[in-house]
């Protein structure tokens, strides 16, 4: 019998999730039934959306219940199969939580084949995976970019923001990033090729952002919220579009339902820009299109990325807290097994 290690929600957090919000469990996995596969997890993705799912509040997805496996996507290899769809040795991505091993129905839409021609196993959790697809569709379908426009993206060195800015350059826009600290800002301009990147921690952040956007802002890709959104809001041009991917600055608020979100900030403007929250699942039938295009840009050297790797499933809660505070540099991953 194979033993599975999993991390479950032990209690709901009040603000930042502490260690006692999580519980590590081990259990023997059941024998495979017809149509099922056994997955050995190699990589686990940590993403901001996981934090609101820990709260008991109305949202786009049901909240986790106490005792549920923490939500999340992983990639790994099929060890055993009782399905014609997968063979042992196949690589897969599974959105089935923080676990070392997974028994899944082969037809479960949360399980997808991974083609390593489009990128590594870890990249399928980042630049060519859900974050990359989020950037791809959020920018193209909600941001509606046009060559010659100015785009600003928050969390520009992160998994989503880094792809948004590089895509903007590929599509002929001026790309301005917002990131935390000089090192991340240098990476965004010198390595990723943005036109400018402004440190939101700098005391003159708003003035520097305005100087970097002399023609105003046409597309603002929202990942952060808070003071960054307030600085951007006054620079938005008539007809601007604001895809709202998330607002991580609010996620550890004691009561997110009372938080001042980007929706509140934008709706106070005299000229309210076109804006909406979106989910990458809106374009589920086109995911392969995005992964192939992103993979092609990587092979051509037009799309670069960085990964922040932690070791050990049992350490995922600490890496998760760090990611929510911006301690990661690039896509936050946990290496679960070789």
Query: pLDDT tens digits, residue range 148-176?
Result: 999 999 999 999 999 999 999 999 999 99
Mean pLDDT of 175-181: 97
Label residue 79 by pLDDT band (50, 70, 90). very high
> Cβ distance 241 to 275 under 8 Å?
yes
Sequence-ordered alpha helix ranges (H) in 159-257? 161-170, 182-186, 205-212, 226-233
What ranges do the domains of the chain cover? 3-125+306-335, 130-281
What is the predicted pLDDT for the residue at 58? 74
> Cβ distance 73 to 53 under 8 Å?
no
Confirm or reject CATH 1.25.40.10 for domain 3-125+306-335, answering yes or no: no
What CATH topology corresponds to 130-281?
Rossmann fold (3.40.50)
Place of tokens 């895809």: 243
Label residue 60 by pLDDT band (50, 70, 90). low
Q: Is 62 exposed, middle or buried (0-12, 13-18, 19+ CB in 10 A)?
A: exposed
193-217 pLDDT per residue, tens: 999 999 999 999 999 999 999 999 9
SS3 321: helix
Whole-structure pTM over 0.85, yes or no? Answer: yes
285-321 pLDDT per residue, tens: 999 999 999 999 999 999 999 999 999 999 999 999 9
81-108 pLDDT per residue, tens: 999 999 999 999 999 999 999 999 999 9
Q: Give the whole-angstrom CA distance, residue 35 versus residue 319.
A: 35
238-277 pLDDT per residue, tens: 999 999 998 877 766 656 667 788 999 999 999 999 999 9
């Amino acid at each position: 019998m194979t033993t599975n290690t999993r991390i479950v929600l032990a209690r709901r957090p009040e603000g930042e999730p502490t260690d006692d919000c999580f519980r590590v469990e081990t259990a023997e996995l059941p024998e495979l039934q017809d149509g099922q596969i056994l997955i050995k997890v190699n990589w686990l993705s940590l993403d901001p959306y996981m934090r609101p799912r820990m709260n008991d509040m109305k949202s786009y997805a049901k909240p986790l219940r106490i005792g549920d496996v923490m939500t999340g996507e992983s990639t790994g290899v099929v060890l055993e199969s009782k399905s014609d769809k997968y063979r042992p040795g196949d690589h897969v991505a599974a959105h089935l939580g923080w676990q070392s091993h997974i028994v899944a129905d082969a037809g479960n839409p949360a399980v997808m084949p991974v083609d390593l021609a489009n990128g590594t196993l870890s990249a399928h959790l980042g630049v060519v995976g859900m974050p990359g697809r989020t950037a791809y569709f959020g920018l193209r379908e909600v941001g509606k970019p046009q060559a010659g426009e100015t785009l600003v993206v928050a969390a520009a060195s992160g998994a989503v923001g880094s792809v948004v800015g590089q895509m903007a350059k590929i599509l002929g826009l001026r790309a301005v990033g917002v990131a935390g600290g000089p090192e991340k800002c240098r990476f965004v301009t010198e390595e990723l090729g943005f036109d400018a990147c402004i440190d939101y921690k700098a005391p003159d952040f708003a003035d520097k952002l305005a100087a970097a956007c002399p023609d105003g802002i046409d597309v603002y890709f929202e990942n952060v919220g808070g003071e960054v959104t307030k600085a951007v809001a006054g620079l938005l041009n008539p007809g601007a579009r604001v895809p709202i991917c998330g607002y991580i600055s609010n996620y550890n608020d004691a009561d997110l339902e009372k938080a001042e979100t980007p929706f509140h900030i934008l709706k106070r403007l005299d000229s309210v820009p076109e804006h909406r929250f979106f989910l990458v699942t809106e374009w589920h039938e086109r995911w392969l299109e995005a992964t192939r295009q992103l993979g092609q840009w990587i092979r051509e050297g037009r799309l670069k990325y960085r990964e922040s790797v932690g070791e050990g499933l049992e350490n995922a809660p600490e890496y998760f807290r760090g990611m929510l505070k911006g301690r990661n540099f690039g896509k936050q991953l946990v290496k679960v097994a070789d």
